[in-house]
C-alpha cells in the first residue's frame, strides 16, 4: 500500500526459482539466504564471489507500481551519494524483473548497524541521515506517479474502497482534510514514508556513510510526515524523537518551523496505519487488524 505498502505474496519463492530469476542480472551468485523481509516483501541476502553482497527483494504484484517508483527514488538517492540500497539495473536498464510471483529487485547491500533506540548518539545520527535524504531528494517528485504525490489521491481512493468501520473512515478523512488545508504552511518533498529504526544503517567507518534503506513506501508529502512517522514508531522510547530532531536540524534547521504541525501529522500517520490495516482486511479477511484499527483510531483522535 502506498505509504505503508502490504504485499499480496503467495507461497515463498523456491530456492531454485530464485536462483533462476537472479540469473537475469548476469551476476555470479555463490549463495542466498533468507532475511527478515518485514511487512512488505520477501528478502534474501545474495552472496557473490569476492565477498560482494546484495539484497534481493520480492514485492507482490498488487504493489508493483509503488515498489517500482520507490526503486526509482532509491536509484536517484544512490546516484547522489546516499547509502540507500539502490537497485542494481538489469542489463536492459530496468530496475526490477516482473515475475509470476511479483516484482523482483536486486539491491545494493548497505552495511552497518541499526540505531539503538536508547542511544542519543545513534538517534542523532539517524536524524541526520533523514535530513540528508530529504535534502538530496528535494527535486525527485517526478520519480513518483501522480497518485503518490501530495495531496495523496491514493489515500482518498483507499478511504472510498477499503473496508473499515465508518467511524474510522470518518476520522481518517477529517485528519487528511486538516493536513491538506495546512499545506501552504509546510515544505513538500519526497519522503521515505516508513522510517523506522530498522531502515537505518549506521556505518562503522564514518557517519558520512550512514544510510537509509527500504524505499518501498516513498511518497511526495510534507517533509514533516517522515518526522511524524519517527514519532509514532519510537513512541515507546521517551525523548527518542528529541534526539532524532537534534540530528535532523544539523542538516535542515528550518524543520523547526514545521514542528508546529507535528501533532497533526502524527494523526496523519495513524490515518495511514488505519488504511494499511483496512487493506489487509480486504486482502486476507475481516479478522485481520481489529486491534490495530482500534489503536489507529485512538491515534487519530490524539
Which residues make beta-bridge pairs with 35? 43
What residues make up the domain containing 226?
A: 120-300
Is 21 inside any structural domain?
A: yes
Based on the domain organization, do 101 and 124 belong to the same domain?
no
78: left (phi over 0), alpha (psi -120 to 50) or beta: alpha
User: CB count, 10 Å around CB of 23?
Assistant: 11
Distance CA 294, CA 24 (A): 44
Residue 291, pLDDT score: 87
26: left (phi over 0), alpha (psi -120 to 50) or beta: left
What would the grid cell of residue 24 be? 537475469
Residue 214, pLDDT score: 95
Task: Name 209's Cβ contacts closer than 8 Å, sequence gap at least 6.
Answer: 83, 112, 203
What is the total count of domains within the chain?
2
Distance CA 98, CA 86 (A): 18
Is 145 inside any structural domain?
A: yes
Alpha carbon of 97 to those of 68, 81, 179: distances in Å?
10, 25, 36
Distance CA 44, CA 202 (A): 21
Is 285 inside any structural domain?
A: yes
CATH number of the domain enclosing 104:
3.30.200.20
Based on the domain organization, do 139 and 280 belong to the same domain?
yes
Residue 283, pLDDT score: 76
Residue 281, pLDDT score: 80
Tell me which of 60, 83, 108 is where a domain ends: 108
Based on the domain organization, do 141 and 238 belong to the same domain?
yes
Is 8 inside any structural domain?
A: no
Based on the domain organization, do 192 and 93 belong to the same domain?
no
Based on the domain organization, do 148 and 265 belong to the same domain?
yes
Q: What is the pLDDT along the chain (302 residues), one digit of tens a residue?
A: 465 543 444 446 888 999 999 999 999 999 999 997 544 468 999 999 999 999 999 998 778 999 999 999 999 999 999 999 999 999 999 999 999 999 999 999 999 999 999 999 999 999 999 999 999 999 999 999 999 999 999 999 999 999 899 999 999 999 999 999 999 999 999 999 999 999 999 999 999 999 999 999 999 999 999 999 999 999 999 899 999 999 999 999 999 999 999 999 999 999 999 999 998 887 776 666 788 899 999 999 98
User: CB count, 10 Å around CB of 237?
Assistant: 14
User: CB count, 10 Å around CB of 21?
Assistant: 17
Contact 149, 181 (CB under 8 A): no
CATH number of the domain enclosing 237:
3.90.1200.10
Closest CA to 176 of 237, 219, 135: 219
Cis status, amide bond into 159, omega within 30 of 0: no
Gap between the terminal Cα atoms of the chain: 24
Is 246 inside any structural domain?
A: yes
What is the pTM assigned to this prediction?
A: 0.93
Based on the domain organization, do 248 and 100 belong to the same domain?
no
Is 154 inside any structural domain?
A: yes
Is 1 inside any structural domain?
A: no
Based on the domain organization, do 75 and 188 belong to the same domain?
no
Based on the domain organization, do 57 and 140 belong to the same domain?
no
Distance CA 152, CA 98 (A): 26
Amino acid at each position: 500500500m502506498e505509504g505503508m505498502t502490504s504485499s499480496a505474496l503467495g507461497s515463498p519463492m523456491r530456492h531454485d526459482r530464485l536462483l533462476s530469476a537472479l540469473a537475469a542480472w548476469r551476476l555470479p551468485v555463490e549463495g542466498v539466504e533468507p532475511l527478515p523481509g518485514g511487512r512488505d516483501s520477501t528478502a534474501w541476502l545474495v552472496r557473490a564471489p569476492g565477498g560482494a553482497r546484495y539484497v534481493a527483494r520480492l514485492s507482490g504484484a498488487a504493489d508493483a507500481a509503488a515498489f517500482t517508483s520507490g526503486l526509482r527514488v532509491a536509484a536517484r538517492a544512490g546516484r547522489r551519494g546516499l547509502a540507500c540500497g539502490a537497485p542494481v539495473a538489469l542489463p536492459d536498464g530496468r530496475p526490477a524483473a516482473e515475475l509470476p510471483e511479483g516484482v523482483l529487485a536486486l539491491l545494493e547491500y548497505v552495511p552497518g548497524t541499526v540505531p539503538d533506540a536508547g542511544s542519543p548518539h545513534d538517534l542523532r545520527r539517524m536524524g541526520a541521515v533523514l535530513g540528508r535524504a530529504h535534502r538530496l531528494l528535494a527535486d525527485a517528485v517526478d520519480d513518483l506517479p501522480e497518485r503518490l504525490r501530495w495531496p495523496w489521491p491514493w489515500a482518498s481512493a483507499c478511504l472510498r474502497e477499503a473496508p473499515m468501520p465508518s467511524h474510522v473512515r470518518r476520522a481518517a478523512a477529517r485528519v487528511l482534510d486538516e493536513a491538506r488545508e495546512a499545506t501552504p504552511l509546510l515544505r513538500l518533498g519526497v519522503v521515505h514514508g516508513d522510517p523506522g529504526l530498522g531502515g537505518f544503517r549506521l556505518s562503522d567507518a564514518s557517519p558520512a556513510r550512514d544510510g537509509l534503506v527500504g524505499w518501498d513506501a516513498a511518497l511526495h508529502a510534507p517533509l514533516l510526515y517522515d518526522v511524524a512517522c519517527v514519532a509514532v514508531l519510537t513512541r515507546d522510547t521517551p525523548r527518542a524523537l528529541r534526539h532524532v530532531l537534534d540530528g535532523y536540524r544539523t542538516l535542515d534547521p528550518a524543520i523547526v518551523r514545521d514542528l508546529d504541525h507535528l501533532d497533526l501529522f502524527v494523526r496523519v500517520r495513524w490515518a495511514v496505519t488505519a488504511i494499511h490495516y483496512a487493506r489487509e482486511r480486504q486482502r486476507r479477511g475481516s479478522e485481520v487488524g481489529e486491534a490495530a484499527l482500534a489503536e489507529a483510531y485512538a491515534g487519530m483522535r490524539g
